[in-house]
Homo-oligomer: A and B are copies of this chain.
Amino acid sequence: MTDIENFWAVIPAGGAGTRLWPLSRKGAPKFLHDLTRSGRSLLQETWDRVQPLAADRVLVVTGAAHRPAVAEQLPGLPDDQLLAEPSPRDSMAAIGLAAAILEVRDPDAVLGSFAADQVIEDQAGFLACVREAAEVAAARDVVVTLGIEPTHPATGFGYIRSGELLDPAGSGTARTVEQFVEKPDAATAAEYLASGRYRWNGGMFVVRASFLLDQLAISHPDLAAGLRAIAAEPTRLDELWGDLEKIAIDHAVAEPAADRGLVATVPGTFDWDDVGDFDALAGLLGKGAKDGEGHDVTVLGDAARVRTLDASGIVVAGTDREVAVIGLDDVVVVDTGDALLVTTRSRAQDVKKIVEALKADGVDGVL
């Protein structure tokens, strides 16, 4: 694998992930954690993953509060390639800022956007998919999205409905995207899988920076102009940032461009997980091996401190305390210094309700 010319990897590093509370916090969001027991945080793994494509051409966009932590985790990232958002303005502003800065540096720049909090194990499959997407994006006026092959009828992800091959005469696998569809119910998800036309939308885009901003300018001219103004005069970032429209890139560009027939997808066969909640985390870590002693509890943290008896599920051992779990199946125990969560894998989505309750009660210190 070699570098792709003009290709920049953009890593948006944002989102606290309230469904992973109290492991993930405002102050220490998901992407800063080693959730895969690899010894590297999700952010570092994302960085590692794009190195073969764009070793010295990586931009990370994160909240101002997380800039020091990101800089510490990525010592190889030049200071001027770590962009700090003065406040959260959703994904369009974050990725758009990177696009506007790249457009100034290199009018032919192609960017690939890869969120910092996702897990992909099949590095070769990922690289091959991005490489083809970058070739398509460099040659054509399209937004290219990576279409992940579904392994099961997931109801927690959005889907991409693909159409015809973009280049029927060639060897490329890219297809047009007919539509992005929201998270389906179980029956609809099963139909999607059976049809063979649907792929998971992992939110990974490859696109020429200038084309992205031009597309944005059609439906959200003020936002596109604001981002380009900041790129032209970076000292005006604080002044202009607060007025930018708060919108997700899916709604601002991807869906409108798809309606215009200007989105393509390159099918990827690599695995992908956004580790959205503790059920997903337990599934991810529980793959393959079981822990010893006849039980089935996956431990994130120091497993030597966790004792179980007739239990299964996941224990996040985030302190130096001894943890004992007896007689509970598919349990989720998250032990941190100032907060403890006890639930089940099937109720993992409801963790956000506790976070809302804590917020409503003004107990912000643990969020």
Q: Which residues of A contact B (CB under 8 A)?
A: 22, 307, 309-310, 320-328, 331, 333, 335-344, 346-347, 350-351, 353-354, 357-358, 363, 366
Contacts and interface: CB of A to CB of B under 8 A. Distances in A.
Contact of A342 (B333, B354, B366): B333
Most chain B beta-carbon contacts within 10 A, residue among A324, A325, A358: A324
A330 to B, nearest CB: 10
Contact of A357 (B307, B338, B339, B341): B307
A343 B322 contact: no
Q: In the A-B complex, list the 4 residue pairs whose CB atoms are closest, starting with the nearest.
A: A327-B347, A326-B343, A324-B354, A322-B339
A344 to B, nearest CB: 5
B363 A347 contact: no
Contact of A328 (B321, B324, B328, B335): B328
Contact of A327 (B310, B321, B338, B350): B350
B350 A340 contact: no
B343 A321 contact: no
Contacts of A341: 324-326
Given A323-B339, A325-B343, A328-B342, 13 more contacts: A307-B354, A309-B347, A321-B338, A322-B338, A324-B351, A324-B354, A325-B342, A326-B342, A326-B347, A327-B346, A327-B347, A327-B350, A340-B340
B339 A326 contact: no
B353 A309 contact: yes
A309 B354 CA distance: 8
A335 to B, nearest CB: 6
Most chain B beta-carbon contacts within 10 A, residue among A333, A336, A354: A354
Given A307-B357, A307-B358, A358-B307, A323 B350 contact: no
B340 A354 contact: no
Nearest to A319: B340
Contacts of A354: 307, 309, 324, 326
Contact of A331 (B22, B322, B339, B342): B342
A292 B344 CA distance: 22
Most chain B beta-carbon contacts within 10 A, residue among A335, A340, A358: A340
Nearest to A310: B347
Nearest to A365: B322
A327 B307 contact: no
Contacts of A338: 320-322
17 contacts: A22-B322, A22-B324, A307-B357, A309-B353, A309-B354, A324-B340, A324-B343, A324-B354, A325-B341, A325-B342, A326-B341, A326-B344, A327-B346, A327-B350, A328-B342, A328-B343, A328-B344
Nearest to A331: B342
A166 to B, nearest CB: 46
A357 B322 CA distance: 12
A293 to B, nearest CB: 9
A340 B335 contact: yes
Contacts of A324: 22, 339-343, 351, 354
Contacts of A336: 321
Contacts of A351: 324, 326
Given A335-B340, A340-B340, A358-B307, A350 B326 contact: yes
A340 B306 CA distance: 9
Nearest to A323: B340
